[in-house]
Structure formats: C-alpha cells, structure tokens
Structure 1
Amino acid sequence: MTHTPILAPHSVTREDRADGSILLSADAPLGEVARNSGVWLDHWARATPDAVFLAERSGTGWRQESYASARQKARAIAGWFLGQGMGADTPVLILSGNGIDHALLTLGAHYVGVPTVPVAEQYTLIPAAQARLDYVVNLIKPARVFAADGATYAAGLARAGCPAIASRPADTGATPFADLLAHSDAGVDAAFAKVGPDTIAKILLTSGSTSDPKGVLTTQRMMTTNQTQLAQGLPFLRQRPPVIVDWLPWNHVFGGSHNFNMVLSGGGSLYIDDGKPLPALFGRTLENLSLVSGTVSFNVPVGFAQLLTALRSDAALRESYFRDLDMIFYAGASLPQETWQGLEDLAAQTGRRVPLITSSWGLTETAPGALLQQVPTKGAGIVGVPLPGVTVKLVPDADMRCDVRVSGPSIMQSYLNNPTKTAEAFDDEGFFITGDAMRFVDPDVPNLGLRFDGRISEDFKLMTGTWVQAANLRLEMLGVLAPYVTDIIVTGQGRDQIGLLILPNRAAIEKVGMTLQSEAGACTCTALADILREQLRAKAAQATGSATRVTRALILSDPPDMGEGEVTAKGNINFAKLLARRAAMVDRLYDDADPATIAI
C-alpha cells in the first residue's frame, strides 16, 4: 500500500523555556507570499485563461467560469463598487450560500479593497435565527447586502438596512447583479494597486459557541500567507492544479478561505457541491462526485462516513472518486478509525495509490491553518506541526497537557470594534490564546507533531475536585454510543458523577424498529435504554477514575434551538447556553427515580 509520494515534510525546532513554556516552529522559512488574492486571479487569467475556475450545477451539467471570464467579471463588479463610492469602510453583507455569483462578488470586492461579510444562510432562512442577523448588521453596519435570490432572502435583505443586490431581485427593489457585470472597470487598476497585505478582505464571524459572535478582521496577508504555508507543506498542490467538489460553506473559514483560496492560488477548479451530508441532500453530493473526479476531497467526519457507505456499494462511483485523488482532508472533529481504514482499503482495491488522509488545526482567527499533519499517519487525532512562519507556544500543566497559543503573519490582529475581547485574546508576549489543548504525540520526538486534546474552556470539576476533560470525553462517548446519538452534552459540574444529555439519532433508532416516546423534554424507550445502559456499563468498567467514568444518561426530545443560542449556524452546540436553558433536564438526569434517567 503506497501513499502519495509528493510530500516535503519539514522538521520542527523546539525551545524549552525557563518559565516552563515550549516554543515550536518549522525549520523551513516562509516562502514568497502574494501581495493580495487578486494577484492570483490575474496570474491564472494570463497563464491558463480558458481553464475552469468555478462551476455550479445547471440542469444535467455545470455552469462554468474560466479564469479569464472570472477576472473580467470581477473587475466589472469592482468598477461598480468604486462607482458607488465604496472602499475599506463600506462592507458588503452576503446572505446566500455558495454560488458563482457569490464568488464573483467576493472577488470583485476584494480586488479593490471592499470587505465582504458572508454569514450563514440560516440567519435569514430560519425565523428564530434572524435576531442573530440583526446582531451582525448592528456590528458591521453594511453598505450593501447581497443575496442570490431576492424572494428567498427577502427578510434578510429588508433587515440589513442598506441597498441590496440580487441575482434574481424579484420584487425587492434590489439592484440586479447583471448591472454590476455590465459596468466598466474604470479606476480599477489604481484601486487594485493600493490593496496590500494589511487591507481587510473579510470580516468572518466566530461560531458564537461561548459568547456572541466576534468579527475577525481577516486581512489579505492572513489569506495569502496561509496558502503559501499550505503549499510548502503539501507541494503536490503546486505540482498539478487542485480540483475539488466541495459543499463546505463560505461563511466559515474552512470552506471560504482555506478551500476556496487553495483552488484560486493553485490555478485549480472548484465545483460547487449543492448537496450536503444530510439525508435529503446527500444523494446530490453523490451525483456531483460521479460527474467530477477531484484531486482533493474535503469533508467533515460524518460526511466521509456516509460517503464510505456509498462507495462500498457503487463500483463506478468508487472508480471516479479515487481516480485522481491526492488527499482526503477531514476537519471539524476526529475521523473515526473505521472510516479512515475503510477509505484506505477501498482506495487500495481500485489499484491506485492510497491518498494522504490528513487534517490540520486552526481557528477563524488563524486564517485557518496553523498546524498541519503533512505525512501519512495510522489514525485520526494528530494535527501535526507548525506551518512555516507560525510559532506555537505551549503552556503545559503537570500532566503535560498544553494550553496552545500561536503567533505569526497568518494570525488575526484584532476583532472588529471589540477592544476588550481583542485584549483578552492575546497574552503578554502577543501570542493568540486559542483555548485549545494539545499533547505531544511523543515528547521526545517533536517532529511527530501534536495531538488535539480538547477545549480547555469546556473542562470542569466534579464536586470531588477532579477535573473532567469534557471535549475529549464527548468525542469518546460519541463513538461508544454510535449509531444511536447525533451529539452529546457532558454534565457533572458541581456534582459527584459524570452524566450525558443525549441528542438522539432518530433515523438510526427507527431503522432498528425502536420508537422514542417524548414527554416534558425527555425521551424514553425501554429497548434503547437497555442498549445504552450496557454500552455505558462496559465503558465504565474500563475507566481509570471518576474523571472518565460516565454513570448516567438522559435522552433529550427537543433539538438545540438556534433562536435561543443553543446551537450556532455552523452547527456547534453552545454547551453553556444549552445547560443553562435545560437545567431542569440536568436535574432529572441526576434523579435515579426519574423514568427517563438511564443509570448504570
């Protein structure tokens, strides 16, 4: 079994300091960084003008934009923005999801230094979440707002409080997107010349899983540096243009900065997947993957698990998917080992090389890549070594679990209009405090990299004084209780035992003939309770102490409420908010007499 050979792993320098902290950095120096992202667009429009840059589904095929046509349209849009007197202080709010018009608008805005603010579609489409849109509007004060379809996004266009642009305006009074495309590019060259590394390209919203979303001022330097870093760690990205079929949303740094700019900087092709790893939409993803063979595959672990099932039963899809594949890249959570091994086995069965299966680590504030696992490993969870130009500061506890902090040219300098949170985000040496924890794979061999070890902010103490690493325990219990759960909230703060509030996987439960009965916020099912109790009991027998021993669970009947802030638009649960709003459910969880409580 051979892996992709076109890798150039760099070694790591470790410095142990007198105060106990550890600094890690790459030996390889940072390579040449583009002045701005428009430089990439100009280059590929000259070098490969007819190559497919962007594509989205249209009927049975694809609507496509070449590099030359994308540049011409982006410059026309840029000219329109200049004609409206727009610049660095007049951001454009983008309401609708991934699409060619969204991409062209973004490229045009960035070309002349107009910031874009993509937000989750749910902020408009789910009435209960529209208060979150109001918060964003008040924070950024947009000068223009864009949506692909005026009718669908009418509520959001109205709430933005500024002139609107729409590909299909309907009766909203929005400026047709076609008007922007018909504009001249007068003045664009002069404006483009002024767009430098410190120009704000985007204002990206943090997940809001622990507080109100913060606006991350994402500069051109952050975006262009990160692509140089990634290409140094994964040189095959420059040896042939990357081709991706991708659904990951552009309001998130992973899809909108990492993946989009990887294609743009490398002269590749981005086929916009209008499917998602959801039961009603995943069939569309499979159809899209059958039409295009990618060189890089991005997804979240649940998406790869669904894909693995489809690949096992569809030989034609399997051949198409693995034909040109260099890399499988997961993010958002740890990839289950059975999914990892299954993908490697299927790749080997096709007779082709096994793609690099890997991940990296970063946040919205880090552009996002700061660490990268750039060589093959035997399993998930390892997030690698610092990328060139990034310095990682580790502050270990007595057990060598390290608080992670980072600095470098790809790291955010400030939040929008929030000096208090900005000051809190950096330590006295200027390192960004991430709130994540990591451990060395092997403390004596730093080149083996770091392993993610949860969120420090999610840790809590039992009443015995024992610390519980909730994020790690949650991931572990998700595997233990699969496939009957979609997510888990770990409880036990101020109590003497660890418990779980369970969000059930109703489809998996019904598939095996079990039925949940809901009452007063909780679910009961004798057969399922017996299964979960046995799984918890078996796991508890392996526990090393009270910090890892789960003794009880309760199944919630109601999913997290986005309108109440229990879940973010990115799908992240705000654990503190959910636990506060459902304090009564936590009390029931610890009541052995309650019929909904599953105790071992």
Structure 2
Amino acid sequence: MTVAPHGDAASLFATPRTVAEHRADGSIVLRSPEPLRDGARCVGDWLEQWARQTPDTIFLAERGHVDAPWTNVTYAQALRQVRAAASWILAQGPSAERPLAILSDNSIDHALLALAAQHVGVPSAAISPAYSLMSKDFDKLKSMIALLEPGAIYVSATKPFAAALAAIKPLHKAQIISGNADDVDALAFHTIAATPETPDVATAFAAVTPDTIAKLLFTSGSTGAPKAVINTQRMLTSSQQAKAQTWTFLEQSRGDLVILDWLPWSHTFGANHNFNLVLRNGGSLYIDGGKPAPGLFATSLANLKSVMPTVYFNVPRGFDMLIAALRGDEELRRRFFSEVKFAFYAGAALPQNLWDALEDLSIKTVGRAMPMVSAWGSTETSPLAADCHFLAERSGNIGVPIPGTELKLVPSGDKLEVRVRGPNVTPGYWKAPELTKQAFDEEGFYLIGDAVKLADHARPERGLFFDGRVAEDFKLNSGTWVSVGTLRVAGIAALAPLAQDIVVAGHGGDEVRFLVFPNIAACRAHAGLGETADLHEVLAHDKVRSAIAHGLAKLRQQGPNSSGHATRALLLAEPPSVDGGEITDKGYINQRAALTRRADAVARLNDDASAEWIGL
C-alpha cells in the first residue's frame, strides 16, 4: 500500500479519547471521558431553528432524471409544508398506535410527510420499497403492515405499488396518500401540504418529549426476521449531538454541509445518520435517485458531477463502482479528491483492496490520501455507537465509543462480544415484549450480536475492529472457529473484481467453502465476452474460473490455516433474493438465509464428483 500524508484530520475531527474499565469477570467497559452535552428536545426543533435562522437555505433537493434541473425546498418552505401536513394529520385523530407508513423510496414529499408526523408526536415507519416492488408474495410487507396498523400509507404513485397495495388492503383501514397528484385512487400529498395550519399543531409540537416515539424502523433482517425498532426522539438527537462532538468541523462550518445521498430512509444509515446529520446542522441534502446497482449507478455519477458533496457516503459496493468510474474520468477524479473533505463507509466492512485503490487514486490525483472513516452501530442504536473520527491505518476500524455511550466487551470463546448502553439505544421492539426482554443483559446493555477486537489493548483510543457476527461464526470439525465476517471481506478482496459478495459455507465440515455472487459485468469483461453472452457461458468461461482459482490460492497464502481460506468456490447464477431474505437495501448478505435457501448449491459445492465448483 502506498504511504503518503493524509488529509488534515485535526481540522475535521476531535482527538479520540477512550477510558477502559477492566472487570474481574474478564469483560471490558469502554467509554468516552467527554460527557455528552445537551442536545435538542426533538428533531422538529432543528427544523424550526433553521427556518428561523437560515430560511432561504436549500434543505432538500431532487430531480426526476439527470437532464432535469434540481427541484428544491428551503428550510422556511419545508417548515410551512410540515406544519400544514401536521394539521391534516391531527385532524385524523392520530396516535402512536396508528403510525404513518411510507412504502416509497426517498423523496422530498416522503421527508416532509415523515417530519410532519413526527412534529406532532405521530411515529413514521418507512418500509423498504423492495418489499413492495421486488417481492412476489408480499409476505414480509403484509406482516409489517399487520404489526403497524397504520393510520395512513404513503406511496410516490399508486400504479407501481398497485399489487402491493392490493395485497395489504385487508390488513388496514389507512388513508392512502400519493405523491402523484393525478392518482384518483388516493389523496394527493400536495393537497395535504396545502392544509391551513391550525393552532393545534403548536400545541402538539410543544407536547413532544425526548421519550416520544419518532420512528418505527424495521431491522434489515441480516441475522433474523425484521422487527420494528422503537426510535425515540432522544435516540435521534443524542446520536447527532455525539456526532457533532466528534466531527468538530460541523460546528465550525454551519450551513456549509452539502450531502448527495442515495441511502434509503427505510434504514438507519440513510435516515438517522445521514438525513439527520443534514437537518441537525442546517445543511443541504440532494437526493440521489441512483444507487450502486447495474443500470442505476450512471444516475449517481451524473448527480455527483452536478453536486459535489462535503462528505461522500456509501456502502462498499458503491465504492467499488465509484473507483471504476474515477479511473475512467480524469475531471471527475480531480474534482472529487479536491472538493470532498473525506469519505465515509458503513453498512458492511470495506474490503482492503477498495481502501487501497481509493487511497492510491487520491495520492496520484491530489498528492495526498483522502481521509476514509467509518462508524458502527445498528437500527437499535440509532445508529451511532462507535465512531472512527481519526485516520485509521487500514480498513475495518469502527472507532471508539461516542460521548454518552458505553461499550461492554464480553469474552465469548476466543472473541469479544460487544454490547451497547446509552441514550441512543432503543427501549425495545414494537409490540414485542419478549423480544425486548431478550435483547438486553442484566445491566441494560443491548445485545447487538457483533464481535470486536481492540486495535491496541494498551491504547483503547486507537479503536476497535469489527470481528464478525457472533451468530454467523461456526466451527469446523477440527474445532477451529471460522470468523465469517472477517473471511468474507478477505475473500471478496482476494477474488476482486469478480466477486460481488460471498456466502461462507463449511458448517460441520473439514474445510471452508464459498458460494460466490459474481460481479457479472466484471466477469464478462474478464472473459472478453459481450453483453449478449449467455450468463452460464460467462460463469463457465476458462478465464473466469482460472481467475477465481487464482484468488483462492492468493487467499490461502494470506491465511494458510483451515479457517483462514476456502478450498472451493461455486459461482451462483441467481442473484440474492429479497423474498428469501438474502439481501437488504444496503446490499448486506444474510449468511444464514442464503445458506438455507441455497441448500442445493451447498450440496453441489460439497459434491466431490461435481465439475461445477472451482478448487485449489
């Protein structure tokens, strides 16, 4: 890896500080010595503040296609529409038991309606559009709607959601709201946003407390069935207060924050981290209609050329596609590394090859390495629990506890299971008291299910490294534990660029083996085949199979012990399934669900007589 000076971290971040309490039972409690300062009462206070102080600043912007101008709303305009929509919501006789459900992707209307509900104490619940638009049986959507019993349901337009709306119709009595004014089978959002404001709005807003439920967010289901996580106002505001104390540039450059983001508001990364980051700090959020997926990333690139953000947020798959684009566009590369302060990755661990590639491009372009940082948490921690607000030496450092939050590291086999306690942690799951009880230990620490490693036992301020999901790890017949999360990332890097993601198999066996979701575009290019080539022809091509075998050999050199590499790989022609619970919006692969659903592929992978798998 190229070694060069990094960007100026001192002007961006607070110096990391951590205190470690070593207990007699072997556990370690980590906390920040800096107390969490008082924050806002609720997210609505932020909107009210900026509408007063900087009324003409752009709050939200969007565009329907890359050739269209950006449509935007200022903070003053947003507050007027939020108060108007809140008047309509109050007239419906709302309560926490009848939340607002949102089925559509990110949009200005989506944001304003959600903020309106929260403004008067009604929770909003954004549900991944994949459950409506990609699902075939709508089972998960139906279970979510039955649990929520919403008072209103918003869609961007009724036609794309017609099948989903028909499937859930027997399960609710909600008013359907549409962002499309021409939909005659729904109430138009613009009608709601034009409702005359009533005095009841101010009364209801004043009654909102830090313990008021702001949102119900469904877990991604990365290790189980989705659950509705209660997100209180205190969780959201304390998380952003801690972020401001670690990302000190936010306080020093109020109003200068510009974010271009695709990350869905049905997940905590996009909603509670990124959206609230903009709202808390009076910034501008440009909604990216693209995403890191074939056919859609071109939109993200066009938007990036139009709006260069202060901080670039993405998941590993997005960085993979960005790096390829930057290599082929000198002007975009120069602007990106010159204008973006730093890059932030989360949602999954960033393979080291992507870290190295981005750093190398930055050095070659502007003579310094762009700072790359991350954070760690979950839907239940809203999401910030640890923050890497320093320049780590390599990928994977999730940082140190944020102010106000404690991390308890508990010995679990040869690992340290991490647990979380703080004002950012959920009080529990909606209408699920038993699940709530099981989610906390006797001291009130949330059992997040992750394992971590200290970067330096003598210096806890150097951060923690993610060490996999406790529930995903397994033993080989030799008794050796396989760290699935760590091996997955190492495997993707070794098989780059042909592997988009990996499912780690080998439970109860003598060897680790991989099911590989291939990067089809990279495989076609490597094989020298055109777009019309049959998928099975691409995956069976000698050049592709040879490259996978070479990657397996490379991984064995890096981790020669039985748990450090895979001896076989099987390329999967079928992409991850939403209905099968194999993948989330952020691209996270549910290992357990994939192994269960693809038991036949695992059997072929383990069949010594099969010619389908690729081996060392």
- TM-score range for the pair, normalised by the shorter chain length: over 0.9
Shift of residue 231, structure 1, vs aligned partner: 0.5
Shift of residue 523, structure 1, vs aligned partner: 5.9
Distance in 1 between residues matched to 2:17 and 2:360, nearest whole Å: 30
Please tell me whether the aligned partners of residues 62 and 107 of structure 2 are also in contact (alpha carbons under 8 angstroms). Answer: yes
Aligned residues: 598
Which residue in the other structure is 1:12 paired with? 18
Q: Which runs of 5+ in 1 are unaligned?
A: none
Distance in 2 between residues matched to 1:586 and 1:331, nearest whole Å: 29
Shift of residue 190, structure 1, vs aligned partner: 0.3
Once structures 1 and 2 are overlaid, which stretch shifts more, 199-208 or 235-244?
Answer: 235-244
Once structures 1 and 2 are overlaid, which stretch shifts more, 84-93 or 402-411?
Answer: 84-93
Which residue in the other structure is 2:124 paired with? 116
Of residues 236, 241, 252 in structure 2, which corresponds to 1:223? Answer: 236
Which residue in the other structure is 1:213 paired with? 226
Query: SS of the counterpart of 1:5?
Result: helix
Which residue in the other structure is 1:297 paired with? 312
Distance in 2 between residues matched to 1:486 and 1:523, nearest whole Å: 13
Shift of residue 488, structure 1, vs aligned partner: 1.2
Deviation string 1:37-71 (CA, Å, 9 cap, x unpaired) is 01000100011000111111155311111000000
**2:101 is equivalent to residue 93 of structure 1:** yes
Shift of residue 191, structure 1, vs aligned partner: 0.2
Q: Which runs of 5+ in 2 are unaligned?
A: none
Of residues 292, 304, 310 in structure 1, which corresponds to 2:325? Answer: 310
Q: How does 1:52-67 map to 2 (within 5 A)?
A: 52-57=58-63, 60-67=68-75
Shift of residue 154, structure 1, vs aligned partner: 2.2
**2:155 is equivalent to residue 147 of structure 1:** yes
In structure 2, relative to structure 1, the CA distance for the partners of 1:68 and 1:353 (3 Å cut) is farther
Please tell me whether the aligned partners of residues 128 and 562 of structure 1 are also in contact (alpha carbons under 8 angstroms). Answer: no
Q: How does 1:144-543 map to 2 (within 5 A)?
A: 144-158=152-166, 159-160=168-169, 161=172, 162-168=174-180, 170-171=182-183, 173-186=185-198, 187-240=200-253, 241=255, 242-348=257-363, 351=366, 355-397=370-412, 399=414, 401-513=415-527, 524-543=540-559
Query: SS of the counterpart of 1:553?
Result: strand
Query: SS of the counterpart of 1:306?
Result: helix
Letter in structure 1 aligned against 2:345 = Y
**2:38 is equivalent to residue 24 of structure 1:** no
In structure 2, relative to structure 1, the CA distance for the partners of 1:351 and 1:534 (3 Å cut) is closer
Please tell me whether the aligned partners of residues 3 and 355 of structure 1 are also in contact (alpha carbons under 8 angstroms). Answer: no
In structure 2, relative to structure 1, the CA distance for the partners of 1:345 and 1:554 (3 Å cut) is closer
Please tell me whether the aligned partners of residues 526 and 544 of structure 2 are also in contact (alpha carbons under 8 angstroms). Answer: no
Please tell me whether the aligned partners of residues 85 and 193 of structure 2 are also in contact (alpha carbons under 8 angstroms). Answer: yes
Which residue in the other structure is 1:584 paired with? 600
Letter in structure 2 aligned against 1:586 = V
Question: So what's the TM-score if we normalise by structure 1?
Answer: 0.95
Distance in 2 between residues matched to 1:92 and 1:80, nearest whole Å: 12
Query: SS of the counterpart of 2:179?
Result: strand
Once structures 1 and 2 are overlaid, which stretch shifts more, 419-428 or 554-563?
Answer: 554-563
Letter in structure 2 aligned against 1:55 = A
Shift of residue 347, structure 1, vs aligned partner: 4.3
Please tell me whether the aligned partners of residues 230 and 427 of structure 2 are also in contact (alpha carbons under 8 angstroms). Answer: yes
Distance in 2 between residues matched to 1:334 and 1:567, nearest whole Å: 15
Please tell me whether the aligned partners of residues 129 and 562 of structure 1 are also in contact (alpha carbons under 8 angstroms). Answer: no
In structure 2, relative to structure 1, the CA distance for the partners of 1:402 and 1:134 (3 Å cut) is same
Which residue in the other structure is 2:83 paired with? 75
Please tell me whether the aligned partners of residues 4 and 353 of structure 1 are also in contact (alpha carbons under 8 angstroms). Answer: no
Give aligned-pair identity as a percent: 44
Please tell me whether the aligned partners of residues 10 and 27 of structure 1 are also in contact (alpha carbons under 8 angstroms). Answer: no
In structure 2, relative to structure 1, the CA distance for the partners of 1:533 and 1:318 (3 Å cut) is closer
Distance in 2 between residues matched to 1:575 and 1:396, nearest whole Å: 23
Shift of residue 554, structure 1, vs aligned partner: 1.6
Distance in 2 between residues matched to 1:24 and 1:473, nearest whole Å: 26
In structure 2, relative to structure 1, the CA distance for the partners of 1:550 and 1:349 (3 Å cut) is closer
**2:572 is equivalent to residue 567 of structure 1:** no
Letter in structure 1 aligned against 2:208 = V
Distance in 1 between residues matched to 2:535 and 2:307, nearest whole Å: 44
Letter in structure 2 aligned against 1:3 = D
Letter in structure 1 aligned against 2:446 = F
Query: SS of the counterpart of 1:168?
Result: coil
Query: SS of the counterpart of 1:128?
Result: coil
Distance in 1 between residues matched to 2:122 and 2:16, nearest whole Å: 36
Query: SS of the counterpart of 1:309?
Result: helix
In structure 2, relative to structure 1, the CA distance for the partners of 1:556 and 1:353 (3 Å cut) is closer
Letter in structure 2 aligned against 1:357 = M
Shift of residue 356, structure 1, vs aligned partner: 2.9
Letter in structure 2 aligned against 1:180 = I
Query: SS of the counterpart of 2:50?
Result: helix
Shift of residue 338, structure 1, vs aligned partner: 4.3
Please tell me whether the aligned partners of residues 315 and 586 of structure 2 are also in contact (alpha carbons under 8 angstroms). Answer: no
Letter in structure 2 aligned against 1:281 = L
Query: SS of the counterpart of 2:420?
Result: strand
